[in-house]
Amino acid sequence: MHSKRLVVFTDGDAAILADVVAEVQKTQAVIAAAQAAQIRALARAGDLARTQAVRSRRNVRDHDMALRGIAAEVAGVMRLADRSVQRQIGDALNLVEEYPQTVDAWEAGEITRGHVRAIVDAGAPLPPEARAGFEHEALRRCEGQTPGRVQGELRLLAERLHPRTLAERHVEACETRSVRVIPVGDGMSDLCATVPSLLADAIYDRLTQQARSIVDVRGQAAADARAANQAPGGGGTDGGEDSEAVSRLEVIGSDTRTMDQLRADLLTDMLLTTQPGADPTRTDDGPGALGAIRAKVQVVVPVLTLLGRDDAPADLVGHAPIDPATARQLAGSTRSPLERILTHPVTGAVLHVDTYQRTAAIDRYLRARDQHCRFPGCRLPAIRCEVDHTIDAAHGGPTRVENLAHLCQRHHSMKQFTAWKVTQLPGGVLQWTSPLGHHTLDHPPSLGVHFRPTDDPATDDPPTGDPVDTGDPSGTDDPPPDTSPPIRAPF
């Protein structure tokens, strides 16, 4: 059987690419060391301003004046505005004093600027006394991960280490709910809403689904219009119903709005009229299909949180932690358009997946396992990806969980048409092989941050971490009977 790969590497191509990769690797280490060294220098500038203020024993204004003068001096060699440099000095001083291990790892080339930013952003809500423990664990979790992949895990880690519970802080934060209009010029404004993360994600998901439906419909409409015009007697020159139908198809097919523009238009329509106004599926008999689209989000709930034995936050997959009270409320609802994923408190393994919006059991399991595209570094959520056969079905690959994984369109195409290859190992681990033969392992994400409870009866006999297969491996729509004991919310 012939290969479908379009990009073929010759020996000469491989040699050139190997040189490029080696050079990038070498310069990456130099850049990281230089960036960390500059941070240390800027921190010394901030410390100097602080020393001058202490020596003069004057007020805060004098300290600010000293910092301004130093920032202006440094700005001259950085070719930046002194205000910008003054902010950078403050950030550098905070980084060096609060996250010294992070700066060391950065200087050694073990992490990148993106990892540093993810650690600092996630640790910002923590009080100073909790940051040392957070930093040590955060650096361990950054090993072999891209900043985008690890930032959600770091947020959950920080939530677990915070001395105040997320539930307490969420109640206070909810008081800041608001909607604001910010003019940005040229007759445009930003409409900003501060709402709970779960609702924000659901709103964005529904808008995205509706926008994607419009894109699909307009593509088909354009094809149908071309076919009608090319058919004998096509074009509807008689001015009758056929002409109107073809004209409507042409109008729908000529829509060139981007996904962002479609989301903005749909949001405006629904807020002002309660229905998507420009619905290409609408007919004279009634509204179209866009209004029937409902949001779909994925929430990971630790089983002890669900049972009320722990207050560990749930995870709005890939986005933000959710307070335990909201998670329990969702788990007890039979109308929530959510997938509830129960996880083991120690290993994070999937214990149970259920949904009241009926889907194939195998798809539910894969979404729970993968959470996002499984190409190394990609964070596109699984609900935006395609389920790919690791070994193509056309080549005899079975439709079973051990041969399936989520890939976004970009990386699905790359797997098909380039020299990149993938093998699925036990436990859903994907081994990617580059054209140069470099191997990269992509593990299914850990579902949350897990600490062994002090009263855990499994201390002497730790669980294997093997997930319960909640889907029928045959790939049918009907899940196997659930023999596990029922899990109910504690209310």
Please give the pLDDT value at position 195: 93
Q: How far apart are CA 158 and CA 136, in angstroms?
A: 12
Q: How far apart are CA 18 and CA 95, in angstroms?
A: 35
Distance of CA 411 to the CA centre of its chain: 16
Please give the pLDDT value at position 355: 47
Tokens of 27: 């310069």
**CB distance 241 to 247 below 8 Å:** no
Q: What are the extents of the domains in the chain?
A: 27-162, 204-292, 297-442
In the β-sheet with 439-442, what is the strand arrangement from edge to edge? 421-425, 429-433, 439-442
Give mean pLDDT in consecutive 10-residue pieces for the chain, a chain of 491 residues: 65 92 94 97 94 71 81 93 94 96 96 96 93 95 90 89 86 93 89 91 88 81 68 54 59 79 90 66 54 63 67 68 71 53 62 50 85 91 89 81 91 90 94 93 71 42 37 38 33 25
Q: How far is CA 55 from CA 49, 52, 64, 459, in A?
A: 10, 5, 14, 56
**In the chain, how long is the greatest CA-to-CA distance?**
93
Helix, strand or coil for residue 299? strand
Please give the pLDDT value at position 1: 44
Helix, strand or coil for residue 61? helix
DSSP for 391-428?
S-GGGT--SSGGGEEEE-HHHHHHHHHSS-EEEEEGGG
Please give the pLDDT value at position 212: 87
As a three-state string, the secondary structure of 191-254 is EEEECCHHHHHHHHHHHHHHHHHHHHHHHHHHHHHHHHHHCCCCCCCCCCHHHHHHHHHHHHHC
What is the reported pTM?
0.65
